[in-house]
Amino acid sequence: MPFSRYDRTAVMGILNVTPDSFFDGGRYQGVEAAVARALAIAEEGAHILDIGAQSTRPGAIPLTAEEEWARLEPVLTALRGRLDIPLSVDTFFPFVAERAIACGVTVLNDVSGSMDNGFPALAAKHGVSLVMMARDAASAQDIRAYFESAISEADNAHLPLSSLCLDIGIGFHRDRETDMDAVRHLPDILNGLPKTAVLCGASRKRVIAHAARSDDPDRLAGTLALHTAAQLRGATVLRVHDVKEAVQAAAVIDTFMNKKEF
């Protein structure tokens, strides 16, 4: 599933099959609830469905690869053949990635920031796409350096750049100001790099509350604002919880920027 198939901004809908994710943990733990939400995400207009079985919120208890797969497998099995949009799995375990691909997954969303887990070669071997995330950065320059390394690793693994997506890592940096700088300085981060898809995933994260100076738990409006800023600066994939609203907002900005229809 090359990311180059999208002429307009792609919305990646989030499905967490976890008990402890920061926003929707526990809502879609059962297979029936997870499948219903997956179908709803597609109906709301998402272009990619991203399924995660391990919470990455601060303080979450990490799962083993076997535990993560035990959560994912029944949901992927139940969804097989029922969706017309690509399936993505949020994992950093090669064990999970191999089995997910066998269940029809065509995008691997690796949030580890690692250059050593073999994901570019694994994605190239199976002809699937890969998201690689810059994380633990202290500056926009750190994010740029990670992107350069990720592109090099993909090239060394013979993974086409059309199958690579670079994630700016919102929520995974050293502080919220670095999160904001990842969006603010995105044109500088990307300047001169080979063209790839670029992902921003700020949906309802702490950076929204930080920027708004508000403890309001409803962070939808702030999410749309920051994603719009990222889209105007070069982001081409938006990872979201609120799919319907994100699809509408992204379409308006794409039209404003005179991007083509799908």
Counting Cα atoms < 13 Å in the Cβ hemisphere of 98 gives 10
Our count of domains for the chain comes to: 1
Q: How confident is the model over 200-217, as pLDDT tens digits?
A: 999 999 999 999 998 888
Q: How far apart are CA 21 and CA 142, in angstroms?
A: 27
pLDDT of amino acid 58: 67
Q: How confident is the model over 138-196, as pLDDT tens digits?
A: 999 999 999 999 999 999 999 999 999 999 999 999 999 999 999 999 999 999 999 99
- Return the structure tokens found at 165: 């997506």
Q: How far apart are CA 230 and CA 201, in angstroms?
A: 10
Q: How far apart are CA 90 and CA 108, in angstroms?
A: 6
Which residues are catalytic, by number? 205, 239
Specify if 147 maps to a domain.
yes
Specify if 144 maps to a domain.
yes
pTM for this one?
Answer: 0.93
What is the CATH number for 169? Answer: 3.20.20.20
Specify if 262 maps to a domain.
no
Domain of 176, in residue numbers: 3-256
Q: How confident is the model over 91-102, as pLDDT tens digits?
A: 999 999 999 999
Q: Could you tell me where the DSSP H helices lie in the chain?
A: 31-43, 65-79, 94-102, 119-126, 140-156, 176-184, 186-190, 206-212, 220-233, 243-256
Residue from 125, 76, 116, 78 nearest 96 by CA: 76
Residue from 41, 28, 10 nearest 167 by CA: 10
